[in-house]
A and B are shown apart, each in its own frame.
Chain A
Amino acid sequence: MSRSTAFQFRAGSSFFHHLDPLTKLVWLLAISFLAFGAYIAWVQAVITIAVLFTAFVLARLSFTTVFRSTWLFAVACLSFLVIQTLTLPGSHVAFRVFGYPIYAESADYALASALRIYTIILSSLVFVRTTDPRELAIALVTQMKVPYRIAYAFFIALRIIPTIEEEIKLIRAAQSVRGVVRERSVAGRISETKRYAMPLLVGSLRKASMMVMSMEARAFGAYPQRTFVDAPRISASGIAVCTVMLALVITWYTALALGYVHSFYVLSA
């Protein structure tokens, strides 16, 4: 009935949708490693562009989706950029704004940090939107040998988050018609939380015990192993993606270690 959350899996037929969950996990981790390994603006910009390309072309997310899901983070990154640029120390004045000096080092560092945060948010969005949590759970069991009870616990937790969100909205609406007004003060917020907690707890416990009964009645947990019909398998393109990403990470960190590149902006002059 209500608007669904942006950071939620949606079925699709893009290249990324067809990749197995572990390959996408490798991709996500590699992007994070690269982003954290580089404090230079142009390198971060390249990574951001690569992730944007992945989002729009390889995962076929619409511009609206990406904008809607990340604009709040983008605004935060932008303010981060402005504050850091103005406050970080530097030695080379790049230009002046109303007579105030802007240093090249601080501007570069600030841009790199802002882009890094945005890249990580964006790559997480790509991962979450294209990966079915159930497939991820199965991949953890079949490919990573995680015990299936743990993987299912993880999957069910993800599965019931939207249900709990809905329930909270419902409780809020139900209590608002009692004349409960949303509180602003800290004490008010605490008593508000207490009011929500009881109905939410009662409802969740009832649902959880129903789930347990439904699972046990269908022999969940009866054996140490279980069959997985359509367990995801790594494909040739998955192997290619993993290889490229691993190669990039190894190359970048080796170059850093050997001093060919620097993690900070270094002025040549």
Chain B
Amino acid sequence: MALVVADDPTVAASRGTQATAVLPATAQDTQSPAQARCPSDLAIDIRNVSYAYEGETEDVLRNVSLAVREGEFVLILGPSGCGKSTLLQLLNGTIPHTLKGRLEGDASVCGKAVLATKIASFATEVGMVFQDPDAQIINTRVRDEVCFGLENLCRPAAEIVERQREALDFVGMDGFGDRSIFDLSGGQKQRVSIAAVLAARPRLLVLDEPTANLDPAGMAEIFAVLERLNREAGTTIVMVEHRVDELADRVSRVLMMDRGCIVFDGTPREAFSQRRSAHSEENAVVPASAWFPQACEFALALGDRLGIPVDAASMPLDVDEAVAFAAHWLDAPGATTPPPAAPSSRSSAADRPAFLRVHELSFGYEKNQPILSEISFSLGRGEMIALCGRNGSGKTTLARLLMHINAPAHGMIWLDNKDVADLGAREISAEIGYVFQNPDHQFVTDRVWDEIAYGLKVRNYADNAIEERVGEVLDIVDLKRYRDRSPFSLSLGERRRLSVATMLVLEPHLLVLDEPTIGQDHERARQLMGLMARLRERYRTTVLMITHDVRLVAEWADRALVISGGRLLFDGIPAAMFANDRLIADAGLLTPPIYEISKALAAKYPDSPLQPTLSLHELADSIGHIGARTA
């Protein structure tokens, strides 16, 4: 393990002399002109910063200026590759000390100039939490992980033990000290990661998509801890996240980035009352790629129906505010009963003949620890199904059994009336395509074109047939211009589309997608799901999505399967799933805000035909109809 050491001369000088001392009590060696001019309540003061990674010519950050006051809770949004993670790495000196490159402009954090301060000196000021808990947790026992930073800072053992206890207590993991990291859930691991930086009592907490790998229950745990930290301890928080529904009402400020620039900076209400635009060259334009809270999307849609612009002051950020926003129109004098909502166009599963049947499937690695027990269901052509459940509930295992990557202990799987156990890997993969969560794992060649052709080649297709089909698929996934590039050189969104394309080319009847929207911005997620919808239209492909994303389920799925503790708890339409409070709690799911909003409105206006719905536009249409008369 090579640890790159800060190469600043003042750092080198201070190193050897402070063998057993605590962190330098004074920041003398880190004082800079920037500090002299920055007001003391500024946690972050960045002026005209541009940065390019070592060996790269293009700037990742372009003339960025940002001032964050102590106690703010800042959410940074933006598409993949916009420079948001790079900006975070600047905040504790990882850039430029570990990740070297060309840095221009002034940056000071907690009163210390980044350029002149070693990373270790930021350890007591800035806490960094990253996306992948397995990569950032160094130790194997919870207690050791929380003590790690203070041990490195040579603090006395008694103090470390006390701080460790406090930090674990704060994140609600009192009593977990002796547990092994490997026995914790994803949400618990991320809380340990937060406790591990809290032990040093930082003034600024920086988080890079901390909940991307977590189920909704784990995500809620993290956001609750962060809110408490910000409100009670006054810690400044800067966070990159895609999950805006649960954050919009908790943060005090939203930054939107695009192509290395901050293109929007304002309150959440201001941010989400803007129109999304594909072009963001000028300032104060919200990029099309940004996720908006559903409450805001609903208000914007309703505003459209009523022909009234929604200003920042009245923009709702959460369910309660959205209900009040809608009630304003429903309560207006002259409001009449809206017409019954049009029935959803999604068809139910019942009318489709099954082509894949799963009968009493059980599986486990250890005899007494079943991962799946007696799972039975069938899939019809052209269905779009969401497979939901907590992390570790057995969703991925089930999908792997379908592909016969693992063999079930009991039960049968029939694919077009053939037992999957009797089919070879190539026969199954011609029928079922499986897009793994990490597209990199599936690439087997050095070139995009070869990658798509691979499945056809191993099945001995004729050269001209291969040429034709690869060309067609490259068009569908919009990757033709990269046909000669290495798959690993593409962006995450492109790699994911390529991984879908490699499956698509075999025209499978079933496509399994493992967490298709993780880490994807709004536009890319829509593109991918739009692609799935087109496949369904064109080839009647069945799509099975393993997902935690309740908005994805609400918007796209026409059927949901819920697994909890290895058992199939639910099989039915998503609306029925979200209506079942106990099921939602048991499976660690959340309901999408639009469902909560429509449910609250239906309860508030029992005489109206308003009903709980998953369609934002359906609800906006129903209410807009009355509003148009009263506006």
Contacts and interface: CB of A to CB of B under 8 A. Distances in A.
What is the predominant secondary structure among interface residues of chain A facing chain B? helix
A153 B3 CA distance: 10
Given A176-B425, A178-B455, A229-B151, A210 B19 contact: no
Interface in A187-230: 195, 198-199, 202-203, 206-208, 210-229
A177 B459 contact: no
B155 interface: yes
Contacts of A199: 440-443
B209 to A, nearest CB: 12
B161 interface: yes
Nearest to B91: A217
B366 A179 contact: no
A217 B128 contact: yes
B89 interface: yes
Given A214-B128, A226-B151, A202 B488 contact: yes
A217 B94 contact: yes
Interface stretch (B115-123, B217-225, B313-321, B605-613): B115-123
A210 B130 contact: yes
Size bin of chain A's contact surface: 35 or more
Contacts of B436: 170, 173-174, 177
Contacts of A133: 140
A224 B5 CA distance: 13
Interface string B96-111: 0010000000000000
A159 interface: yes
A152 B144 CA distance: 13
B118 A222 contact: yes
A219 B136 contact: no
Interface stretch (B52-60, B397-405, B473-481, B576-584): B397-405
B153 interface: yes
Interface in B153-187: 153-157, 160-161, 164, 180
B98 A212 contact: yes
Report which residue of A1, A179, A228 has the largest number of chain B beta carbons within 10 angstroms of its beta carbon.
A179
Interface string A1-13: 1110000000100
Given A163-B134, A207-B132, A227-B150, A171 B3 contact: no
Report which residue of A1, A181, A213 has the largest number of chain B beta carbons within 10 angstroms of its beta carbon.
A213
Contact of A214 (B136, B180, B458): B136
A149 interface: yes
A60 interface: no
A210 B132 contact: yes
B180 A11 contact: yes
Interface of B: 1-5, 15-16, 18-20, 23, 89, 92, 94, 98, 118-120, 122-123, 126-128, 130, 132, 134-141, 144, 147-157, 160-161, 164, 180, 196-197, 200, 365-366, 371, 392, 396-397, 400, 403, 405, 425-426, 429-430, 432-434, 436, 438, 440-444, 454-455, 458-459, 488, 502
10 contacts: A1-B371, A157-B1, A159-B139, A170-B438, A177-B405, A177-B434, A179-B426, A199-B443, A210-B135, A222-B15
Given A179-B429, A212-B98, 9 more contacts: A159-B138, A176-B405, A181-B458, A199-B441, A207-B134, A217-B126, A218-B148, A219-B123, A219-B149
Interface of A: 1-3, 11, 132-134, 149, 152-153, 156-157, 159, 163, 170-171, 173-181, 195, 198-199, 202-203, 206-208, 210-229
User: What 10 pairs between A and B have smallest CB-CB spacing?
Assistant: A222-B120, A218-B149, A174-B441, A219-B123, A214-B136, A210-B135, A219-B120, A219-B152, A217-B128, A207-B135
